[in-house]
Amino acid sequence: MSCKTPLWPVASPEAGLAGKRWLSAAEDLAALASRYPLAALVGRAGMGKSQVLLHLCKDSCIYIDATELQERSLAQIAAAVAWRLAPRLRGRIAEAYRSYGYSGLLSLAQADPSWVLSEALSQQGARLIVAIDEFIPSAEDPDFFRAAAALHRLRNLAPRSAGFIFSFLPEVYEKLAEKIPPLGNILSSVVVQLPDVLDEDDVLEIANHYCPERAKEALAIWRARPDITVRELLMALSSPAKAVEVPIS
């Protein structure tokens, strides 16, 4: 049995990225992030956004799961980035880090987030990709506009030595585009959208990556539920084999 289907299919570096269209999305994002200060990854829940970001961050990249942040603000982003780069930094940021650890960096970032971010990024040298996942986890998030303001600030700040990639659900992206047109307009030039539904090739590529023995079963599951997400497909494949009802049209 060569199945390595994750039992609890949430993104992880060990799971690896499967599917040509997902690998291509990762490449497109890397190209955008190497040119622009901001890029966006859009995809339905469970369609692999986080896995794409983790794939992108295999090498020189900072991946931040924003669900870990206390609040959705530029100060929190600046402190998180400075924390990851701290051992290589000098001056006031290094001093705050040595004296007070993360609290020191956050305190500095709360006073002047733009300066901390710019300074930390410029000191670390080569261009860096910063992937921020789940910064606005839902369109109904009470902090939606606060988080959007941080994005807007980042757009204006336009750090030269980093490309920030944010992942969004389609409904969050739509709301951003509708409510804050200047932000939506610029994001529309730097967005990569994951497939909304799987096609037959996707299903086979994903199944063959995780569990080749159950590729036929994966196809049967997909035919019964053509709007199934990658996560739902992996959940179905990680459960013990069972008969699948296939509708005959």
Point out which residues bind another protein (CB under 8 A): 42, 44, 138-140, 169-175, 177-178, 184, 188, 191, 193, 196-197, 225-227
Nearer to another protein, 24 or 138 (CB): 138
First to last CA, the chain: 33
How far apart are alpha carbons 167 and 42 in whole angstroms? 6
Give least dist CB 49 to another protein, A: 13
- By C-beta, is 152 or 223 nearer to another protein? 223
Residue 5 corresponds to which tokens in the numbers above? 């289907």
Q: Please report how close the Cβ of residue 227 comes to another protein at its closest, in angstroms.
A: 5
Smallest separation (angstroms) from another protein to the CB of 51: 19
- Rounded to a whole number of angstroms, the minimum distance from the CB of residue 223 to another protein is 9
Q: Which is nearer to another protein, 30 or 176 (CB)?
A: 176
Cβ proximity to another protein: between 84 and 220 the closer is 220
Rounded to a whole number of angstroms, the minimum distance from the CB of residue 184 to another protein is 7
Q: Are 204 and 215 in contact (CB under 8 A)?
A: yes
Q: Which is nearer to another protein, 87 or 226 (CB)?
A: 226
Burial pattern 136-165, b for ≥16 Cβ within 10 A else e, equals bbebebeebbebbbbbbebbebebeebbbb
